[in-house]
Homo-oligomer: A and B are copies of this chain.
Amino acid sequence: MTDDGKSGLFPAGGHDHHACVEAALASAESLCRERGLRLTPLRRRVLELVWRSHCPVGAYAVLEDLRRDGRSAAPPTVYRALDFLVQERLVHRLPSLNAYIGCNEPGAPHCGQFLICRHCGRVAELHDHALDRRISASAADTRFRVEQALVEVRGLCPRCQAAEGDGE
């Protein structure tokens, strides 16, 4: 984490991703303990696999990984684990990609905000509370009761804007 904390939101940089994965797992452990939930070996492994990827991963990619582990696995195995993790806000699902990504503020009840690079496929999660409030306010105007909000922004990350100029 030697960058400015802004463009560095994109996990393409050289920061220690392995440490992030460990932190996410530890955080998940304690969160489940607090809530009296069972972070079983399967669920823990799925969470790890999601976090290990630098990009959002599809359910069937996780399934392949589980099978590589030597574990018996079928689609429901994966979907159930992912559903649990999403439920507990340890991972997010990105509907426009049919894929999952580790949540970097696990357990907190926040609006999911994602910048999705169409070129490299990497995703940055934002936590813009002003944006949260703007959505709440807008919904309140129509007397809609918000339960969950999701912002998906597609475009080009800083790195890929540069690459495009190079005519890649």
Interface residues in chain A, defined as those with a beta carbon under 8 Å from any beta carbon in chain B: 6-7, 9-10, 95-96, 113, 115, 117-118, 124, 126, 128, 130-131, 134-135, 138-139, 141-158, 161
Contact = CB atoms under 8 A, between A and B. Distances in A.
Contacts of A134: 128, 130-131, 134
Contact of A145 (B126, B148, B161): B161
Contacts of A128: 134, 138
26 contacts: A7-B143, A9-B142, A113-B138, A117-B144, A118-B147, A124-B144, A131-B135, A134-B134, A143-B161, A144-B153, A144-B155, A144-B156, A144-B157, A145-B155, A145-B156, A146-B154, A147-B154, A147-B155, A147-B156, A148-B153, A148-B154, A148-B155, A149-B152, A150-B153, A150-B154, A152-B152
